[in-house]
Amino acid sequence: MSAASIAPDAPADTASPAAESGAGDLRASSLEIQFPDGLVGLPRCRHFLLSRAAAPGTFWLESVDTEGLAFLLVDPFPFFDDYSVQLAEEDLRALGGGTPADIAVLAIVTLPGEPGGTCTANLQAPLAFNLRTGRARQIVLPRSDFGVRCPLAWDLAA
């Protein structure tokens, strides 16, 4: 998972992937995640389980509040070379602080509606996770160079 690099009094930049280790390790099990502010369009869905999916770099985010609600997430950094996320101090506080190894940024995947269609990733509003505290936040990026449906060069059958 990609981690944020956090510098004192500066926004965190999540421009490159990082190794998984320590408190935020998802290799063994799922993590309980809380979105205190909910998700965009789903303000009452606040409790989730985050776990690895079958494909490398993919994860499931399953709602505890709403049965049957789940999102496929992907580490966007291997797929989009110029992609980066700046976490503001407000975002870091909402996540409970932490070190770069604690923070991960993932994008929600939209699966194609028909066979052979293209998967897309929401790079305009990624999810930031503090894997140590279990707190998360959806970050709506103000810039428009990456949108909500960026084609993902990814073969689900592989």
Low-confidence ranges of the chain (pLDDT < 50): 1-24, 157-158
* Residue 155 confidence (pLDDT): 61
Residue 80 has a pLDDT of 92
pLDDT recorded at residue 95: 93
pLDDT reported for residue 83? 92
Q: Give the range of the structural domain holding residue 66, as residue numbers without chain letter.
A: 26-148
Q: Is 18 a domain residue?
A: no
pLDDT score of 64: 96
Can you give the length of the chain in residues? 158
For the chain, what is the domain count? Answer: 1
Q: CA–CA separation, 20 vs 72, rounded Å? A: 19
Distance, CA of 81 to CA of 13 (rounded, Å): 14
* Spatial distance between the Cα atoms of 132 and 130, rounded to a whole number of angstroms: 5
CA distance 124 to 36: 20
Q: Output the domain CATH number for residue 132.
A: 2.30.290.10
Whole-number pLDDT of residue 16: 31
Q: H or E segment at 67?
A: none
